[in-house]
Structure 1
Amino acid sequence: MSVTHAPAAVDVLRRQDPEMAEIVLGEGERQASTLQLIAAENFTSPAVLAALGSPLANKYAEGYPGARHHGGCEIVDVAERLAVERAKALFGAEHANVQSHSGSSAVLAAYAALLRPGDTVLALGLPYGGHLTHGSPANFSGRWFDFVPYGVDAETGLIDYEQVRTLARSHRPKAIVCGSISYPRHIDYAFFREVADEAGAALIADAAHPIGLVAGGAAPSPVPYADVVCATTHKVLRGPRGGMLLCGHELAERVDRAVFPFTQAGAQMNTIAAKAVAFGEAATPAFSAYAHQVVANARVLARRLAEQGLAVTTGGTDTHLITVDPAPLGLDGRAARGLLAAAGIVLDCCALPHADARGLRLGTAAVTTQGMREQEMPGVAALVGSVLRGQVEGKRAREEVRELATAFPPYPG
């Protein structure tokens, strides 16, 4: 039986829908027996899972506490107010909106609050780690706004801050976005605030990846600098899949109206309750220790991957994520990901700055939640290296990965 679900819940599902029960149990087994190195994933706590599966899932609650479009919201109003107050306290924000269904919907709401279609926006280019919502032509952002991309230095892989300043002066954007899905270093939010003020632009921080580290005091906070901070509540934060926005009092009403009624309707009250649980957990000394351990693990893993022959971008990491180029081993990112997946090592491809081929993106949040520390990271790197070099055949590699993963169950007992 999967250790990711309570026996009673599994028994109910087996009786009602045995086909789906097997799917759920199979996913639990997959998570517990493979190495989860996707930088955007984590394991929630049992308390977060309990809130997600609670009766709050039944409640329709369009609107905000005290101003709902449905009756019977007295209890869920308390849950949302608790989530908001905990988010504000955790991040030192004047206002928090916890209704966004995802990080992308949070970014959409930020744009809706601050921009109009056709406005110019400066953001990290997609080839350098920008998100789909930062101007992809396949996304609403690229279709509705005029995005001007900035990049990274070809030698260091670090954000080209002087290019940011030059582009802001020449294009006078309505907003500047700082944030990335694959930038492993801290972002200089104070610099972006300075440039935004000089250009007369709003500053939007897309902190989907580092926000959990911010909560644990392991990364600088964008809250004092950005007009609006967009974030996810999963990833390092270890909450449910969802989004949130943080801002000052002066933008609170615009942000709230951008979420509801402009971009989405009914709030998912079970998810909001689970967010409140995660915010409460993130306010503890134990979570702070966890966040710092995530970074310590990532730094060791980056160093050891370099020793295995992979080219580590920016020379290392300040955060939970690492990006590497497997080209020195004669592979591109997609081929490398496939080999590793066959061995039970789960990670992502990513764009590599100033390169045609794709690389690999890894993260240490999930394995750290499982209890792995610095001493386990050389073994993880060795597994990656041996698989990519073809030094261990598939079945044996899979057995070694399973042995390591099952030694650190995500939900012990």
Structure 2
Amino acid sequence: MSVITQPLDLLRQQDPQMADVLDGERQRQATGLQLIAAENFTSAAVLTALGSELANKYAEGYPGARHHGGCEYADLAEQIAVERARALFGAEHANVQPHSGSAAVLAAYAALLRPGDTVLAMALTSGGHLTHGSPANFSGRWFDFVGYGVDAATGLIDYARVQRLAHEHRPKAIVCGSISYPRHPEYSVFREIADEVGAFLIADASHPIGLVAGGAAPSPVPYADIVVATTHKVLRGPRGGMILCGSEFAERIDRAVFPFTQGGPQMHSIAAKAVAFGEAAGPAFTSYAHRVVANGRALADALAAGGFAITTGGTDTHLITADPAPLGVDGAGARGRLAAAGIVLDTCALPYGDQRGIRLGTAAVTTQGMGEAEMGRIAELFTAALTGGEPTKIRSDVNELVVSFPPYGV
């Protein structure tokens, strides 16, 4: 019996209704193509830590300075996570307590900014995150955001415009990072622009941080004052956030996380982060990260051959954004048709006009063991789903592909 199914059997004895829900989700993940760029499959070891007795522990504060007793093992778990994060990314300081990527961004802003300060970040219409100035988010309500974008012809960041906007608005901070930009940001250029106007540089590396860990993407750590990231996505850890910075910002970051923006940390999640950092430090993960990128490029090329318009002409990462309009469907329509065929992905803003495209990633399918040959097959399934193929037949073909690459071996 799999280590994944054993706890479910225990749950079924007490709460069969919820056991059915969890079993349904397990089956959903195991029988469809999981191509959401922000998702991945954790290891069984990470799941074990998430389900451990550390879930019971309240540990407000930091190791050696908790507001609750009985934290000796919680302290050890957090110390291990911090040291592994520092070593993995070459950072002087790491805070592993943020509950999410958004919480990490909030803490970074709290450490450096005051309400009303001006911030320069990628516009949401070009791929910026909600925390990069959305009026529906704390960022857009508390700070004055100015958005930079991409060149409409190439889809690439217009660094000359970033520089002009920085000199015009004199922001307190510049944010580099996106949820749908498939190329590596030029961190050194952002650093130069920030220095020219006396701004802090915050790198939101939530998407590429796992590739950074595996040596498959450039690191923002040497250039940014603060790096915020998630621990899921390519990194294959639990859902959560972290912050990396130099020692000069360490106290400000720690105080911004606790007590300013969060209370007690989720110690089971911190233990799971430590497990993921340990896994990411090994050669197997390095190989994995490079295979993720190879699969991303192969899938982008195959989709382009099938008629999709690929933004920026390709990808440097796990992430692909594409316009399905040449196949006669918009982003929302494409997502719906693909979902009916068992292919799960997202829509995203495109860097031109008002239409939406699709956003997908290769992290999860690479974890399952798929390679470049399977990327070609996936592109064929995409094209079939969007050009009149019969959904039931395509879903059967999807299942036939996925069954050979089961997550967790079940």
TM-score, length-scaled by structure 1:
0.98
Aligned counterpart in structure 2 of residue 223 of structure 1, from 221, 227, 233: 221
Superposition pairs of residues 154-193 of structure 1, within 5 angstroms: 154-193=152-191
Q: Secondary structure at the match of 1:121?
A: strand
Partner of 1:400: 397
Q: Secondary structure at the match of 2:150?
A: coil
Q: Secondary structure at the match of 1:155?
A: coil
- Alpha-carbon separation, structure 2, partners of 1:15 and 1:412: 24
CA offset digits 1:60-109 (Å, max 9, x no partner): 00000000010000111000000000000000000000000000000000
Aligned counterpart in structure 2 of residue 381 of structure 1, from 371, 379, 382: 379
User: Which residue identity does 1:389 align to in structure 2?
Assistant: T
CA apart distance, 1:241: 0.2
Partner of 1:126: 124
Aligned counterpart in structure 2 of residue 105 of structure 1, from 81, 91, 103: 103
- Alpha-carbon separation, structure 1, partners of 2:5 and 2:399: 23
User: Which residue identity does 2:5 align to in structure 1?
Assistant: A
Partner of 1:64: 62
CA apart distance, 1:4: 7.5
Q: Secondary structure at the match of 2:134?
A: coil
CA offset digits 1:191-242 (Å, max 9, x no partner): 0000000110000000000000000000000000000000000000000000
- Alpha-carbon separation, structure 1, partners of 2:224 and 2:198: 13
Q: Indicate conservation of the 8 Å contact 1:4/1:28, yes or no.
A: no
Partner of 1:195: 193
Q: Secondary structure at the match of 2:409?
A: coil
Q: How many residues align?
A: 410
Does residue 272 of the first structure (1) align with residue 273 of the second (2)? Answer: no
Q: Indicate conservation of the 8 Å contact 1:332/1:357, yes or no.
A: yes
Q: Indicate conservation of the 8 Å contact 1:176/1:203, yes or no.
A: yes
Aligned counterpart in structure 2 of residue 318 of structure 1, from 312, 316, 319: 316
Does residue 410 of the first structure (1) align with residue 407 of the second (2)? Answer: yes
Q: Secondary structure at the match of 1:157?
A: coil
- Alpha-carbon separation, structure 1, partners of 2:329 and 2:259: 48
Q: Indicate conservation of the 8 Å contact 2:4/2:408, yes or no.
A: no
Does residue 251 of the first structure (1) align with residue 249 of the second (2)? Answer: yes
Q: 1:158 to 1:4 in 2, by over 3 A?
A: farther
- Alpha-carbon separation, structure 1, partners of 2:295 and 2:352: 27
Structure 2: stretches of 5+ with no match in the other structure = none
- Alpha-carbon separation, structure 1, partners of 2:396 and 2:150: 40
Partner of 1:236: 234
- Alpha-carbon separation, structure 2, partners of 1:246 and 1:386: 44
Partner of 1:289: 287
- Alpha-carbon separation, structure 1, partners of 2:298 and 2:86: 33
Q: Percentage identity across aligned positions?
A: 74
Q: Indicate conservation of the 8 Å contact 1:177/1:203, yes or no.
A: yes
TM-score, length-scaled by structure 2:
0.99
CA offset digits 1:160-206 (Å, max 9, x no partner): 00000000011100000000000000000000000000110000000
Q: Secondary structure at the match of 1:267?
A: coil
CA apart distance, 1:355: 1.9
Partner of 1:5: 4
Q: Secondary structure at the match of 2:238?
A: coil
Give me the CA root mean square deviation.
0.8
Q: Indicate conservation of the 8 Å contact 1:182/1:361, yes or no.
A: yes
Q: Indicate conservation of the 8 Å contact 1:117/1:145, yes or no.
A: yes
Structure 1: stretches of 5+ with no match in the other structure = none
User: Which residue identity does 2:126 align to in structure 1?
Assistant: Y
Does residue 93 of the first structure (1) align with residue 82 of the second (2)? Answer: no
Superposition pairs of residues 201-212 of structure 1, within 5 angstroms: 201-212=199-210
Runs of 4+ in 1 over 6 A off after TM superposition: none
Aligned counterpart in structure 2 of residue 330 of structure 1, from 319, 328, 331: 328
- Alpha-carbon separation, structure 1, partners of 2:404 and 2:58: 41
- Alpha-carbon separation, structure 1, partners of 2:349 and 2:248: 37
